[in-house]
Amino acid sequence: MSGSPSMPDSHTSLSPLKLIGLVVLFIALALLPFVWGNRFYISLITEIMIYGLLAMSLDVLLGYTGLLSFMHNAYLGIGAYVVGLFLIHVSPTSLWLACLVGVVFTGLVALPVGWIQVRTGGLAFALLTLAFGMMFYTIVWKWYGLTGGDDGLMGVPSPDIQLFGWSVGNTGNPAHMYLLTLFVVAIALILTRRIISSPFGAVLEAIRENEERAAFVGINVRRYKLFGWMLACVLAGTAGALYILCKGYIGPVTMSAFAGAGVLMMVLLGGLGTLWGPIVGAGIFIYIQDYISTMTEHWEIFLGIVVIFLVLFMPTGFVGLGNFFKRLRKD
């Protein structure tokens, strides 16, 4: 190692081969609705991508900053309700403005909550996320006049998708909504990966590894935990905006603690600290849920068994499966 030594980082940049593979995958996904007319599955994949974005945002918190949020779905819910209410009451056609308002509002709610939560760590932090999440759930559930309470928010209009003054589609069309979601999630994934690989990402990882040591190398731990929290919540709010546009409806169940546990399972199923793992996890989770629920309404039992199996035999999730096979071959 003479001259300019290489950097012994634990994550390296993508190899050209992987990069080409990802571009091909993206193009294939973008072409999918044109060759496959099944509206049901196109919508299902859209939902997978939206929950994938939510699970990825939880991974920023759990896998990179080491903070557990039991009810990250609350911030998807806030984003979704605000976008829905904006489209219903303010302007039924302003798609981008509605999304902007929804994401900014989610951030504004997350800021004071985060400010309180980062004063703690570990279990106390996790319990606070549960407490705040339950609070938001109850507000949405009980505020019948605004949110529709138990019935949920119905009749959300489907705005046109405007790009540079041109209307390129409508969110009510499953294929158009699929493409919009694909682009937004892909951009979010690229940006998040970029942020995680930045010096800022290194700070988050140091906090995850050893909070006390991080403070003793000069890191303002609370401040960076808050930044990590805000990033995760803004991404969740973005997923919420896509959610309401895709479904045209949201009910309080989406913001329940039960749904929150589901998001956590997606992250664990896919693999912590990988960003794309949780997206895969969301796919597995939603597919199992959809498939099994056609046979029995007790699909949670089956999913529970899958999760128990995973935790016992594949603690690093599906992402860890690759390494597992590599080890097998070596032996």
**307 vs 112, 270, 303, CA distance in Å?**
34, 11, 6
Q: Smaller CB distance to another protein: residue 64 or 70?
A: 64
Least CB distance to another protein at residue 215 (A): 4
Least CB distance to another protein at residue 181 (A): 24
* Other Cβ atoms within 10 Å of 73 Cβ, number: 33
* Three-state secondary structure call for residue 248: coil
Closest by Cα among 253, 284, 288 to 267 = 284
* Sign of the Cα pseudo-torsion (249, 253, 258, 260, in order): positive
Burial string for 87-113 (b: 16+ CB within 10 Å, else e) reads beeeeeebbeebbebbbebbbebbeeb
The span from the CA of 230 to the CA of 104, in Å, is 11
Least CB distance to another protein at residue 228 (A): 11
Residue 107 identity (one-letter amino acid): G
Is residue 255 within 8 Å of residue 136, measured between CB atoms?
Answer: yes
First to last CA, the chain: 31
Least CB distance to another protein at residue 49 (A): 24
Q: Smaller CB distance to another protein: residue 88 or 219?
A: 219
Q: Which residues bind another protein (CB under 8 A)?
A: 1, 5, 7-10, 13, 194-195, 197-203, 205-206, 209-210, 212-221, 224
**Three-state SS string across 255-274, please?**
HCHHHHHHHHHHHHHHCCCC
Q: Smaller CB distance to another protein: residue 71 or 231?
A: 231
Least CB distance to another protein at residue 207 (A): 10
Is residue 4 within 8 Å of residue 149, measured between CB atoms?
Answer: no
Q: Smaller CB distance to another protein: residue 9 or 297?
A: 9
Least CB distance to another protein at residue 65 (A): 13
Q: Smaller CB distance to another protein: residue 237 or 251?
A: 237
Q: Smaller CB distance to another protein: residue 98 or 232?
A: 232
Q: Smaller CB distance to another protein: residue 221 or 286?
A: 221
Least CB distance to another protein at residue 227 (A): 8
The span from the CA of 140 to the CA of 125, in Å, is 23
Q: Smaller CB distance to another protein: residue 1 or 295?
A: 1
* Three-state secondary structure call for residue 168: strand
Q: Smaller CB distance to another protein: residue 3 or 165?
A: 3
Least CB distance to another protein at residue 59 (A): 16
The span from the CA of 89 to the CA of 78, in Å, is 16
* Three-state secondary structure call for residue 300: helix
Least CB distance to another protein at residue 237 (A): 18
The span from the CA of 52 to the CA of 195, in Å, is 18
